[in-house]
Amino acid sequence: AQNNSHPPDSEPDVWPGIVMVKVAENEFQMGSPNSEAQRTSDEALTKVRLDSFEIATHEVTILQTLVWLNDPQTDFDPSWIDLDDSDCPIQRVEGKFYRRLKNLRFCSNISQPMIGISWNGAVAFCGWLSENKGNKGRHFRLPTEAEWECAYRAGTRTAFYWGNRSDDVDKYAWFGRNT
C-alpha cells in the first residue's frame, strides 16, 4: 500500500508534521530580470547549479516550536525568540512555554507557522531535530539562499511561483492581511 498523503519524492514525517521533499540536482536562474516589478539591485540573474537537497514542505508550526522548547533537553536562549514582542504567539510561564491566548494579531491557531524566531533559533531547532530519535540519523539545517529560491520558484520563471501578479499574494501566502 502506498501512502498518498505525501508529495511525490517525499518521505513520511521525520518528526510529527514535518515532511521532507527531495529536490533533484538542477541548474536554474537565480535572481530576477531587470524588467521585474519590485526588483532590487542585488537580484541580478545568475545561473546556479545545485546538488540535490531536501526541504520541508511546510514551515515549522507554533505547536512544533512548543514541543521543541518544552523538551527537557532544550536549554532556551532568549536570542532565539523575542517573547516580549506583542506579536509573539508563545509565552513562558514558570519555565514552561505555552501558546499566547490574548492580544494576538497573528497566529491564532497552533498549526500556523511560527513567527518571530531568529536565525539562531531556527538553527537551534534544526540541531534539536537532528538529535531527535525519529530522524534516522539525518542532519537537518536551514536551506541556503539558492536552495530556498529554487524550491520557492518550483521550476517557474515568474516573479512568484503563482505568476507575476503581486496583488494575488493573499491567494497563496499567509501574511498580516489574511492571517
Sheet containing 10-15: give its strands across.
10-15, 18-23, 53-56
pLDDT over 50 at 2, yes or no: no
Given pLDDT bands bounded at 50, 70 and 90, which one contains residue 39? confident
Compute the distance between CA of residue 44 and CA of residue 29 in angstroms, rounded to an integer.
10
Alpha carbons within 13 angstroms on the beta-carbon side of residue 146 total 16
Q: Where are the beta strands (DSSP E) in 7-164?
A: 10-15, 18-23, 26-30, 46-50, 53-56, 90-93, 96-99
Residue 22: its pLDDT value, please? 92
Give the cell for residue 64. Answer: 512544533
Q: Which residue has the higher pLDDT, 41 or 81?
A: 81
Q: Which residue has the higher pLDDT, 129 or 36?
A: 129
Residue 4: its pLDDT value, please? 39
Residue 61: its pLDDT value, please? 92
Q: Which residue has the higher pLDDT, 175 or 37?
A: 37
Percentage of residues in the chain having pLDDT higher than 90: 44
Residue 133: its pLDDT value, please? 62
pLDDT over 60 at 5, yes or no: no
Main-chain dihedrals φ then ψ at residue 124, nearest 5 degrees: -65, -40
15 three-class SS = strand
120 three-class SS = helix
Q: Which residue's C-alpha cell is 507554533?
A: 62
Is the pTM of the predicted complex or chain greater than 0.85?
Answer: no
Give the cell for residue 85. Answer: 514582542
Residue 103: its pLDDT value, please? 64
Main-chain dihedrals φ then ψ at residue 29, nearest 5 degrees: -90, 110
Amino acid at 173: A
Q: Which residue's C-alpha cell is 539525518?
A: 138
* DSSP-based helix, strand, coil % in the chain, nearest 5: 20, 20, 55
**148-164 tens-digit pLDDT:** 999 988 888 888 888 88
Compute the distance between CA of residue 86 and CA of residue 166 in angstroms, rounded to an integer.
28
Q: Which residue has the higher pLDDT, 167 or 1?
A: 167
**108-140 tens-digit pLDDT:** 788 888 989 999 999 999 999 988 867 767 889
Average pLDDT, the chain: 84
Residue 169: its pLDDT value, please? 84
